[in-house]
Amino acid sequence: MRTDRSIAIWIDLENVYYGLKKYHMDPDHPEPQHNLFLRLQEHYGKKSIRMMEVYADFEQLNMSLHQLQKKHVHLHQVHGNGRGGDERKNAADIQLCLDVMDVLHTVPEVDTFVIVSADQDMIPLMDRLWTRGKRVELFCLKDESLSKTAQMEAFCDVSHNLFQFLNIPQFQNLSQMDRLLQDAIIQIYEWYEDPNNSDKSYGSSWIKKDLQRKLNLSEAEANQLFAKMVQGKYLQPHEITVDGNTYYGYHVNLEHPQVRTVIRIAGYRVS
């Protein structure tokens, strides 16, 4: 393992955050094997990393800055300009690129630049680093959102798939129905986690209505998804008696291995 502190890591956190959010996963996951920052430190060795720079409009991300700082990352707040998510992301990209070029010219000891982003706007930056004789490594989520025409892998020495790196390979090739199934599992689990719903039962009619509203489904699609969950035993009947009245509903089946995996990787502790 290298100990010369010649590695600089640059994380476009907004890009990674929203990419992982599709799978209900936090980059700063409570379990080390799924935590982006801890995995990078483990992979390269803390003594080899000269800097780990993270860029985002943190006011828009549901993350603990204190927990990030405890991992010895340098946070760069890139304020949004009120024009929408895409322009906030571009602002983070621009600041990241400017800082990388500054280090390229002022810190010659850094010979490996690690870029964590799936944004094809990083291609000119990676190409410039590579032509200056630097080693360039890329980490990105390789799913349907990664541009196939951009061929980002052609502009770096090594490309790492974050699905494998973060130990979530089962999520890489999810079909649309599988993605909806995962979304529905988390939706129903979080309903019961809400203190306002204690001593309540989530009925099938309300589940279907919420699936329509929150997952942007038609009535027929919500019915199909709900039926799949019941038939596949992702859900189990749940009833509760209040003041002598019994209410019937459904709860996620925590004995189902796929349900347990989805909930655990979303950051919840499953007993």
Tokens at residue 71, please? 């991992």
Convert the pLDDT of each residue in 224-263 to its tens digit: 999 999 999 999 999 888 888 888 999 999 999 999 999 9
pLDDT, residue 145, reads 78
pLDDT > 50? residue 84: no
CATH architecture, range 7-170: 3-Layer(aba) Sandwich (3.40)
pTM confidence score: 0.88
pLDDT, residue 240, reads 86
pLDDT, residue 37, reads 98
Residues 93-99: what's their mean pLDDT?
A: 92
pLDDT, residue 82, reads 53
Provide CB contacts within 8 A for 206, sequence distance 6+.
249
Convert the pLDDT of each residue in 257-266 to its tens digit: 999 999 999 9
pLDDT, residue 81, reads 55
pLDDT, residue 85, reads 46
**Considering the chain, what is the average pLDDT of its residues?**
91
pLDDT, residue 184, reads 97
pLDDT > 70? residue 86: no
Provide CB contacts within 8 A for 98, sequence distance 6+.
none
Residues 36-55: what's their mean pLDDT?
A: 96
Phi, psi of 112 (to 5 degrees): -130, 120
What CATH class is the domain 176-265?
Answer: mainly alpha
Convert the pLDDT of each residue in 123-154 to its tens digit: 999 999 999 999 999 999 998 877 776 688 89
Domain limits of the chain?
7-170, 176-265
Percent of residues, the chain, with pLDDT higher than 90 = 77
- pLDDT tier, 211 (very low <50, low <70, confident <90, very high otherwise): very high
Q: How far apart are CA 24 and CA 257, in angstroms?
A: 17
SS3 of the chain: CCCCCCEEEEEEHHHHHHHHHCCCCCCCCCCHHHCHHHHHHHHHCHHHEEEEEEEECHHHCCCCHHHHHHCCCEEEECCCCCCCHHHHHHHHHHHHHHHHHHHHHHCCCCCEEEEECCCHHHHHHHHHHHHCCCEEEEEECCCCCCCCCCCHHHHCCEEEEHHHHCCCHHHCCCCHHHHHHHHHHHHHHHHHHCHHHCCCCCCHHHHHHHHHHHHCCCHHHHHHHHHHHHHCCCEEEEEEEECCEEEEEEEECCCCHHHHHHHHHCCCCCC
- Is 79:101 a contact under the CB 8 Å cutoff? no
Q: How far is CA 42 from CA 3, 11, 73, 168, 265, in A?
A: 13, 16, 14, 17, 19
